[in-house]
Every structure is written in C-alpha cells, then in structure tokens.
Amino acid sequence: MGRDNQVQEFIYDESTIKSLDWKEHIRLRPGMYIGKLGDGSALDDGIYVLIKEVIDNSIDEHVMGYGKTIDVRIGDHRVEIRDYGRGIPLGKVIDCVSKINTGGKYDTQAFQKSVGLNGVGTKAVNALSAFFRVQSFRDGKTTYAEFKQGKLVHEKKEDKTNQRNGTLVVFEPDPAIFRHYHFIPEYIENQIWNYAYLNSGLTIQFNGKKFHSENGLLDLLKSKSDEESLRYPVIHLKGHDIEIAITHNNQYGEEYYSFVNGQFTTQGGTHLAAFREAVVKTIRDFYKKDFEASDIRASIVAAVSVRVIEPVFESQTKTKLGSQNIAPAGPTMRSFINDFIKTELDNYLHRHPETADAVLKRIIQSERERRDIAGIKKLANERAKKANLHNKKLRDCRIHFNENGNGKGDESMIFITEGDSASGSITKSRNVETQAVFSLRGKPLNSFGLTKKVVYENEEFNLLQHALNIEDGIENLRYRKIIIATDADVDGMHIRLLLLTFFLQFFPDLARNGHIYILDTPLFRVRNKKETIYCYDEREKQQAIEKLGGRPEITRFKGLGEISPVEFGNFIGEDIRLEPVILQKDTSISALLGFYMGKNTPDRQIFIIDNLKIEKDLVTEEV
C-alpha cells in the first residue's frame, strides 16, 4: 500500500509539462550559455564572459569597417560599453537583446567571419543582469530599452540625438546569480589587449587607458616575453585569413595564444593542434632531421590567428574550436595551416640564416636536457607510482579538470598544505567530489636558478608534479585550481614563495593560464554567546567588535591547524576566498625570481617580514 501511494505522488500528465521562456531557461541553466559562474577570481568566470559577449558585437562592427573606437567603463558592479559602429536598427533594439535567434549575423554576406553567429550572447547578458540597458544611435535618432533579469521595464521611443552612430550597452550582473562577484582589472585588460592585437587600427579605451596595436601578433608576443630571454627575434608571418608569430625563450613549457575570428580560444582546438603539428613537420623538413616533437616545441612561445567562415565551437563560450574546415566547402583546417607554415616559415628560415641557427641551437639544447634527465626521470616516475600507493601525501577527489567533459571538472581544485594538522583539517571538511589535498613535508627546496633535473631528484617536487599530472605539460592538468594553503605567518609566507618559485621556474604556463591561487583564511574569530564572526584582517575585526558590542571573545588563528574541521568547512565551501596569482603584462619571470629568491637577498627578507602578501608584480586580488 505504501508503494502504491508513492507511485501516485508522481503524476505524469499535461500539468507536469512546462515551457520556459528564453530568460527563464538562461537563468535556470546559465552554464549552458556562459560556462561556469564563478565569483571573478578566475579569468574564465562568467562575469568576464558577459563582458566579452557585448564587446564581441562591437568588434564585429569594426571588422565590417564601422567604428575604430570602443569605450569600456567598468566599476565595482556596473559595465558600460559604447561602440561607434552603425548602431542597431532602431525598430529592432528590443528584439536583438530579448529574442533568441534574432540578430544580423545570419546573412553571411553581412557578417561572414563573425565571432558570434547564434544570436544568444547579449540575450544571456540581459537575462543574467539585475539591470540591463541597450541604446542605439543611428542617423540622428536614438531609442533605448531597460530590463531587469531579462524583463522589459522601460522603453524609450525614437528621439532626436546629436551623438555619433553606434550602440551603448550598460549592465550589472545579477548578484542572485553571481554571488560575491568582483571584477579583477588585470583579467579585463588581458581581454582587451587581445582584442587590440587581433584588430589593427582599433582603439579601446578602458577606464581612461588606451589599448592599441599596430603590429598584431608581433606586439602580442613581445608583450608576453622578456626580450632578454628570447633566443631570436619574433618570426611574424601573415597571409590570407591567417597570422602567426613564433619564437623560443629560456623558460620551460610551451606557451600558445590561439584565436579564431578575433576570439581568444583559451582551450585551443583544431587550429592550434594543426599549428603545433605543422611547426614540427616544417622544422624537421628544413633541417632534414627527425627531431623529437617535444624538443622542437620546448620553450616555444607562439600565437596563431585564423579567420573561419561559420566557425563551430565546442561550447557556447567559444573557448575551443571544433571546425574541421576553414570554410564549409573549403580546405581542412589541418591542410590550410600546414600549407601556409610549410611555405612561409621555410622561406623565412632560408632568408634569415642567423635565426635558423638560433632555432637549431635551442632544439639541440632541449634535446640534451631531455637526455640528461632521462635516467633519473624513469626512476622518479617509478618512485611516484609507488608513493601514490603507499603514502597519504595526496588525498584525491573524484572529479578532475581534464577528465570530465560535462563541465564539472571546472570545479576541481587541490589544496597544497604544510603539516599534518592543516592537511587533516582541510581533508575532514573538504568536498570529496571536487577538492583534493596534497600535504607538504617541511619547507620546499628553493629551486631558483636550478634546472628541471631537480624536479625529479627532489621527492616533494616529483610527487607534486605527478599529483598535478603536469610532467609532460599542463594539457592534462588534473585540477582547475591549484590552491596554496599556508599559514599567515613568516614561515607560511616563505613556503608560499618557495612554491611559487617552483611553479614559475618550471611550469610558468600554470600562472599564465590562471590556475594558481592563494587560500585566504580568517586571522580572527570574534564571538559572543549569540553570534560568531570570522575576520580576515584588522579592519574586519574592529567592525565585528563594534557589531557584537560589549567584550566579545577574540581568537587569533596562528596557523591553519588551529582551525577545527567544522570551522574550516565554512572557509573552503561556497564562500571560499581566493587570491589569484596574476602575471603582470610586462613582468619578467627571471628578473622577478632573481630579485626575490636570489641567495641572501635582503629585499626578500624585508618583504617576507613586512609584507606577508604576494609581491607587487604577482598581483593578487581579494575576492
């Protein structure tokens, strides 16, 4: 009888069938439209996708030959973007931001190589905003509409104007969707620089700062590289619908920047795979030697940009290209890129023998370094496999970054802790689905100035790189966020710097791609019989004392191990505070590490004692 009653509770008839309108569906499933939500601490968090979706439309106008300037103003929570293109046709202003599958990009003659073709972008921004305003200026007339969470709340009919043609979009991300969000200027500046590099002649004004590039990908690579570390001048080649820039430096890893129709494809795709393959093939043919692909690409810094008709991306956020062809009836992506590089790079190396010699020397050096560590690498790998079975250094999670195609991998993170007590507290309070813990034993080695051989010789470093799965590059990184969780004291700060030195020395692309964070935990607990407040600095402590009144109990946490597992759960859950480690645009890693991590550096000692924050060239933002 109980079973019959249970069945009757789940009635399936006409009343159970529901139809969501466009805005309800976007708000219910925002990840389908803008990827992960986040709070602004990661460069691919949703609030930056909202900005990108609006700017993409302005870029498309520029590409079509309308408008050389875009003005962007961003405050704590409000975004304003004004372009000087043709302006949305006045009679379609509301439809273009509130009706799915409405836009001017379906006619490929008008927007043949556009970034956005599906008519969803600004609709998603509208639906996910607490306030959204769109205004069009066109041929001496203007009209605007205002929305709240996608619902039209105010409409202004046509009126006269003396402003230049174009479109203004103003929006505020909805705090009900984006909890505790905060814009990090460095992330936005990186976005805007990429637009400038990919669109010569375009000027973007961001909060009063001018972004402009005359030399495209050549300027991009120069901005991303320490000129002193380059082995030869940047090779810059341009063709019809393709542009590339290549050089090698003295750092470890491979560093790529790939673009499709001006869109920064952070996860690469078919164009980047074809590019990497074509470079290896061309180099082998030029030198008539079958070099290892890893030796050719070791320490490479490169950028590739292609223009594709009707590009197909693997997600709505357009971070990975899936197109197999350069155009629906055109050549394959692989043959198009290979033919260009085979011809142009080969010609360049023949015309510039000094560059060809420098490339060869860099490859031979990489080959020698690989052979030098081959023996110890094999032994280290065996030790790592054995250690993973028999010790408790890594307490893994179930969901991993590059192993889950459903997007859940974006939530994966690993805490690097010092000592058993801290790792024990985090382990007991973590989410076992997405949060892993790696426990350090003692202070890490100062790896500044050492070769990668030390990564395999040092047990801690060897086990750490295997836990992250980055031995052969970050393509198979197992965790989206690598979180350094050390005490907020002098020793903890020193360990933090030693770990950052390790990552920047041997795996700098982890920082460049926004994977490294610092865990911010409270310094004080202020409480009375009715309420407990956790405070992250002296200012918050004083505010808590004033709020609670009287003489509340104040506890100063000297180390993470003093925080109970129950309390720790409050600090690594939904309200986790992370400080992303961001490399400034003009930061030289070698100079940075030399200044702070060189032997007997007084500056480092003063910094650790007085600052207890990550140094100024590695920007961190509290979120």
What is the structure's pLDDT at 13? 60
What is the structure's pLDDT at 441? 84
Give the fold, CATH level 3, of 376-521+557-619: Rossmann fold (3.40.50)
Both tokens of residue 227? Answer: 């000129």
Q: Report residue 521's pLDDT band, with 50, 70 and 90 as the boundaries.
A: confident
Please name the residues in contact with 275: beta carbons below 8 A apart, sequence gap of 6 or more.
244, 256, 258, 302, 304, 337, 341
Mean pLDDT taken over the chain: 84
pLDDT of residue 1 exceeding 70, the answer is no
pLDDT of residue 619 exceeding 60, the answer is no
Tracing tokens 């290549």 back to the chain, one arrives at 246
The residue with greater pLDDT, 616 or 209, is 209
Per-residue pLDDT, averaged over 599-609, amounts to 56
What is the structure's pLDDT at 602? 62
The pTM assigned to this predicted structure is 0.81
pLDDT of residue 557 exceeding 70, the answer is yes
Q: Report residue 590's pLDDT band, with 50, 70 and 90 as the boundaries.
A: low
The Cα–Cα gap between 332 and 393 comes to 46
Q: Report residue 107's pLDDT band, with 50, 70 and 90 as the boundaries.
A: very low
User: How far lies 512's CA from each of 207, 339, 580, 587, in Å?
Assistant: 24, 30, 11, 11
- CATH top class, domain 217-372: alpha beta
Per-residue pLDDT, averaged over 369-388, amounts to 79
The residue with greater pLDDT, 524 or 560, is 524
Per-residue pLDDT, averaged over 560-576, amounts to 84
Phi, psi angle pair for 60, to nearest 5°: -60, -40
Q: Report residue 621's pLDDT band, with 50, 70 and 90 as the boundaries.
A: very low
Buried/exposed code over 241-258 (b: 16+ C-beta within 10 A; e: otherwise) = bbbbbbbbbebbbbbbbb
What is the structure's pLDDT at 9? 58
Per-residue pLDDT, averaged over 85-112, amounts to 71
Calculate the CA dihedral of residues 193, 198, 200, 203 and round it to 10 degrees. -30
The Cα–Cα gap between 218 and 66 comes to 25
Contact yes or no for 476/509 (Cβ under 8 A): no
pLDDT in tens, 164-220: 999 999 999 999 999 889 999 999 999 999 999 998 889 999 999 999 999 999 999
Phi, psi angle pair for 308, to nearest 5°: -125, 135
What is the structure's pLDDT at 106? 41
**160: number of Cβ within 10 Å:** 7
The Cα–Cα gap between 575 and 578 comes to 10
Q: Report residue 264's pLDDT band, with 50, 70 and 90 as the boundaries.
A: confident
Per-residue pLDDT, averaged over 414-437, amounts to 88
Q: Report residue 623's pLDDT band, with 50, 70 and 90 as the boundaries.
A: very low
The Cα–Cα gap between 429 and 157 comes to 56
Where exactly are the structural domains of the chain? 22-212, 217-372, 376-521+557-619
pLDDT in tens, 450-464: 888 888 888 889 999
Closest CA to 427 of 558, 568, 557: 568
Tracing tokens 């003009």 back to the chain, one arrives at 586
Please name the residues in contact with 553: beta carbons below 8 A apart, sequence gap of 6 or more.
525, 526, 527, 528
Architecture of domain 22-212: 2-Layer Sandwich (3.30)
Which of 22-31, 58-67, 233-242, 547-556 has the least mean pLDDT? Answer: 22-31
